[in-house]
Structure 1
Amino acid sequence: MAKSKYAPSEAKYNRWIKEGRGQGDGANYLPWLTVRDVPSDGRSHRVFGHKCQRTHQLLSDVELAVFLSLEWKADVVDIREQFPLEREDTLIIASENGIRHPSDSGVQLYMSSDFLVDSLDPQCPRYVIQAKRSEALKDPRIFEKLEIERRFWKMKQIPWFLVTEHDVSPTLVQNISWIYPLEKDDIEDEFLVDKTAYYSEVFYRNERKFVTDICKDIDRTYNLPDGSSIYEIRQLLANRCFYFDMSQPFHQLIGKDLVAENMGNLIGARHVSNQ
């Protein structure tokens, strides 16, 4: 039987290290894992981030929710996802605490944390978040691996937090469920650029008007089927052409709440992430 493309190997790890994975910061950071490196059940996301001006690799809806929360926090200055832990350290921690270290096919795995966050908060300038579905925490083996991770960051004297869907704003989760099914890689760049420019001007001229009412007005003015404009807005939001405080219900947003992205950087990142 052919070996799975997802199977670990020392050769693969050495190649990733040479590529610079898990290194850098801001726009230059390369995550240890990408959505192409792990089996997908359709819940992974490649999302452009306005703070770091690059595409982030998110492996679950919970990670997406946490990421979008961090994106809007004014004190957050850098978000590094899928951050690798030094394997030498996790092996020692596992051995000293009688925990079986994660391995596969005889290869000791590199563990990773979902987010390493840099903040302007002097009380907590750097911290780590691991995002898990609450149902996964029923698995004792998951707890063992989390304990290795927790002890690793305690050794580094960096705060570590475990977050589940219950810790995320329900409104944010609703917004994600409404917007991100329209997240597609095959939408033409020209469409995104043109529509972003068009709606940016419309929102500027109607900054105090509800976005939903703006869209209804456009549909009526141009004799479009009901919902045409709101659908285009959803497409633009899913592709990160605009961003907003995702903890706020979409139907309560007004024109000035939607902030246009730097389209040059966005389009460039789309091309890089699709290679």
Structure 2
Amino acid sequence: MAKSKYVLTEKQIIKRIKDGRGTGRVSNYKPWLYVNEVPSEGRSQRVYSHLTGRIHHVLSDLEFAVFLLLDYNSAVTDIREQFPLNRDDTLRISKDGQLWHPSQGGVNLVMSSDFLVNSTSKNQPKFAIQAKYSEALKDPRTIEKLEIERRYWQLKKIPFFLVTEKEIDKVVVSNIEWLYGVKGYFDEIITDELLLLFENMKAYFGRYPNRKVVDICKEYDNAYEQELGKSLYDMRLMCAARLITFDIRYPFHSLKAKSIAFRSVSLHEGFTYVAN
């Protein structure tokens, strides 16, 4: 039977370390895991961050929700996803605590935390997060892995948090589901047409900061004699491309124009640019 592409050999682990996986900061950081290298719990995605100026790799809807909350938090200065834990340390913790250490094919795997976050907070300038669905917490091996991870960060004197879907507000989930309705979401592709539309809508919305976004969209459709709902769909495309951002904790359909941010566009921000 052929070996799964997700099973790492010792040689591959060494190569990833040499390639700088898990090192760097902000735009130069390289995650230990990329979305095409590991099976995901649901929808794995590549998503651009204006905060870090790079593409992030998240492996589930839950991770994506946590990422968006971090990315919009003004106190956060860096987000490093799929952050590897020093294997010698986790093996030592596992042995001392008689805990099961993850392995495959006789190879001790490198464990990772979903996020290592830096912030301007004096109380928590750095903290680690593991995002797990509550159903997974019924698995004894998952619990042992989490305990190794908790002890690891305790030794590093860095706060560690476990987040489940129960801690994610339903509004956040609803916004994510709404955004997922866009075809090609997270392709990071910006076309000339989308850029032109972005500039036009940015100017139009800037005139009405205190009006609701959905009302402005209806007026925009009428003003440009286009099908009702088209401008709202176009805004979803721009949100998908991260040209427009908003606080994911609030329902998009209730937001006013001043509550959404039309970002400054740079073709060197990590997007794939396609000229029409």
The match for 1:269 is 270
**TM-score normalised according to structure 1 size:** 0.93
Q: CA deviation at 1:44?
A: 0.7
The match for 1:236 is 238
Q: Is the 8 A contact 2:93 2:152 kept in 1?
A: yes
Query: For 1:146, what is the secondary structure of its paired residue?
Result: helix
Select between 139-148 and 11-20 the one with higher mean Cα deviation.
Answer: 11-20
Query: For 1:269, what is the secondary structure of its paired residue?
Result: coil
Identity of aligned residues (%): 47
Query: Between Structure 1 and Structure 2, how many residues are aligned?
Result: 271
The match for 1:260 among 253, 256, 262 is 262
Select between 200-209 and 17-26 the one with higher mean Cα deviation.
Answer: 200-209
Change (3 A) 1:146 1:10: same
**TM-score normalised according to structure 2 size:** 0.93
Q: CA deviation at 1:9?
A: 1.0
Query: For 1:161, what is the secondary structure of its paired residue?
Result: strand
Q: CA deviation at 1:42?
A: 5.1
Alignment of 1:210-225 (within 5 A): 210-225=212-227
Q: CA deviation at 1:253?
A: 1.1
Q: Is the 8 A contact 2:49 2:56 kept in 1?
A: yes
Amino acid at match of 1:216: K
Query: For 1:78, what is the secondary structure of its paired residue?
Result: strand
Q: CA deviation at 1:122?
A: 0.6
Q: C-alpha separation between the residues in 2 aligned to 1:184 and 1:79?
A: 18
Q: Is the 8 A contact 2:41 2:59 kept in 1?
A: no
Q: Is the 8 A contact 1:63 1:131 kept in 2?
A: yes
Report whether the alignment pairs 1:52 with 2:57: no
Query: For 1:128, what is the secondary structure of its paired residue?
Result: strand
Alignment of 1:182-197 (within 5 A): 182=182, 183-185=185-187, 187-197=189-199
Q: C-alpha deviations, 1:111-145, integer Å up to 9, x for none? A: 00011011111111111111111111111111111
Q: CA deviation at 1:40?
A: 4.0
Unaligned 5+ runs, structure 1 = none
Q: C-alpha separation between the residues in 1 aligned to 2:203 and 2:19?
A: 41
Amino acid at match of 2:237: Q
Q: Is the 8 A contact 1:175 1:246 kept in 2?
A: yes
Unaligned 5+ runs, structure 2 = none
Q: CA deviation at 1:176?
A: 0.6
Q: Is the 8 A contact 1:192 1:241 kept in 2?
A: no
